[in-house]
Amino acid sequence: MPELILASGSPRRREMLTQMGVDFTVQVPDIDESRRADELAEDYVTRLAREKARAVAASQAHNEAVILAADTVVVQGERIFGKPRDFAHAQQIWHSLSATKHQVMTAVCLLVHDRLNVKLGLTDVEFATITERQMQAYWSSNEPQDKAGAYAIQGLASAWVKVIHGSYSNVVGLPLREVNELLSAVEMNWL
């Protein structure tokens, strides 16, 4: 059985993969996550997942490892919300998401012997109104600083969610059904 490497520094992704009963190690990729001009959300998130997998593969002394990488963005219309740069940026994101719908998009990439397989998780989320006081309190919690869309659905921001259509695990950052499908192709899945 080849080694599975999770190409991510996300503790949430590690927790979810562990909950699936999968044995893996972690290696954090170092890539430029800047969006290219006019890059569509699906292309952007898919490219980043692929680049993360390739970056970890390039650092391996051998090519026997199977590499799982993912990237998540929050999308509203043509706008893509990644991680907030600072409080002012987070406020801009929350003002856009407040009392509206958005989509969470996660690309998951499995790299096996130079073969890339990618699946895309899509979930629609609707938020209630977010007040200025809530924004300040949430930022002060330190929870949203490294999250796409400046929120963690599994944390304090769960109070903002009115409706979710689709995979909850996708919003957390790792669509487990898609991961299981990718891992089943190389007989590393738990079911």
Q: Domains of the chain: which residue ranges? A: 4-184
What does R_g of the chain's alpha carbons equal in angstroms? 17
pTM: 0.91
Contact 124, 75 (CB under 8 A): no
Q: Which residue has the tokens 């990488």?
A: 69
d(CA 54, CA 69): 9
Q: What is the pLDDT of residue 156?
A: 96
pLDDT of residue 62: 63
The encoded tokens of residue 18 equal 């562990």
Q: What pLDDT is recorded for position 188?
A: 72
Taking 70 as the pLDDT cut, the residues of the chain under it are 61-62, 189-191
Respond yes or no: is residue 124 known to be catalytic.
Answer: no
In this structure, how many other beta carbons lie within 10 angstroms of the beta carbon of residue 23?
Answer: 10
DSSP bridge pairs for 124: 103, 165
61's CB contacts (< 8 A; 6+ apart) are none
- Percentages helix, strand, coil for the chain, rounded to the nearest 5? 35, 25, 40
Q: What is the pLDDT of residue 73?
A: 94
The whole-number pLDDT of residue 74 equals 96
- What pLDDT is recorded for position 59? 86
Architecture of domain 4-184: Alpha-Beta Complex (3.90)
Please report the pLDDT score of residue 64 as a whole number. Answer: 80
Task: Kindly state the tokens that stand for 79.
Answer: 């706008």
Rounded to whole angstroms, the Cα distance separating 64 from 133 reads 51
pLDDT of residue 5: 95
| Predicted local confidence at residue 185, as pLDDT | 85
> Which residue is catalytic, options 23, 30, 38, 71?
71
